[in-house]
A = this chain, B = another copy of it.
Amino acid sequence: MFFEIALSYLLCIFKLLFKTQTKQISLFSMYEELKYWYLRDHKLFRVLSFAQIKQLCIIVGFKKANKGEIIYFSNSETPRIFLLKRGAIKIVSLDEDGNETIKDIVQKGDLFGELTLESDSVVNEYAKVLTDEVSICSFLLSDFEDLMLRNPNLALGYTKFVGLKMKRLKNNYSNLVSKDARTRLIAFLKDWAEKEGVFENQKVTLGNYLTQNDIAQIICTSRQTATTLLNEMVESGLLEYNRKEIIIPDISVL
């Protein structure tokens, strides 16, 4: 098993600081430091200075969870935005008829939660942990709004970020309308490869934390169809597939 990333970060910073300037560094300030790094490496917050982030202290929660765990985050008393620091989760929504659909796969470094800045109580969403373990930090929507009001650059950046999400969704939408399941599967695999794949020339290796059922839901088809398509692709040599990893021998011919 691995240590919590927060801990390792802390340790690292701790060591460094001890060597150079042990005196006035309290544990509290190290905690602040940590928050800084957590936010710091999200591109959204790059526009802010070190001092600014430190000052703001908007992170109010850390959380760690293991595979299979379910994290409820919608209709919470106080709306929050979450930042996934490690691992991957899926956002699942339960509609009135009781069937669950995958809204999104959130990976390391991604934000999720009330991204539209308006909490709507109607939707019933929760997150399910896909990887061995995840760590998540969160801040209050209201704090974030204040922060944006004081930093128009951040607001602009955030708007573009939401815009990007929107563009992706639009793309999925038009795929769903005009392309068949096979094409959608290929598009999804390419996407996934681009985001997380390890490239060796044309060969791409993906750590596979999705079941075929997950994949099916993402590309909006039935589990059986997804299974058949995947096996067909394995058959024709486009793919190597098992529960642990997916290898695409040559992504250019996918």
Q: Residues of A with Cβ closer than 8 Å to B?
A: 93, 95, 97, 99, 101, 103, 115-118, 120, 145, 148-153, 155-156, 158-160, 162-167, 169-170, 172-174, 176-178, 220
Q: Give the complex CA separation of A178 and B94 in angstroms.
A: 12
Closest to A175 in B: B95
* The residue from B155, B164, B172, B176 contacting A155, defined by CB atoms under 8 A apart: B155
| Chain A binding surface SS class | helix
Pairs A–B under 8 Å by Cβ, sample size 17: A95-B178, A115-B163, A116-B163, A116-B167, A117-B156, A117-B159, A149-B153, A149-B156, A155-B155, A155-B159, A158-B159, A159-B159, A162-B163, A166-B169, A169-B169, A169-B173, A173-B176
Most buried by B among A148, A149, A152, A178: A152
A156 to B147, CA, bound (A): 11
Q: How many monomers of this protein are in the complex?
A: 2
Shortest Cβ gap from A185 to chain B (Å): 15
Q: A158-B159, A159-B162, A176-B177 are in contact. List 6 more A-B contacts (CB 8 A).
A: A116-B162, A117-B159, A118-B164, A149-B153, A169-B170, A169-B173
Closest-CB distance, A51 to chain B (whole angstroms)? 19
A115 partner residues in chain B, CB cutoff 8 A: 163, 166
Contacts of A177 in B (CB 8 A): 101, 176, 220
- Smallest CB gap from A150: residue in B: B152
B residues within 8 A CB of A153?
Answer: 149
* Complex: A101 Cα to B177 Cα, angstroms: 9
Shortest A91–chain B CB gap in Å is 11
Set of chain B residues within 8 Å of A103, measured between Cβ atoms? 170
Pick from B99, B160, B173: contact of A172, CB below 8 A: B173
Q: Which residues of B are found within 8 Å of A176, using beta-carbon distances?
A: 173, 176-177
A163 B101 Cβ-Cβ under 8 A? no
Closest to A162 in B: B162
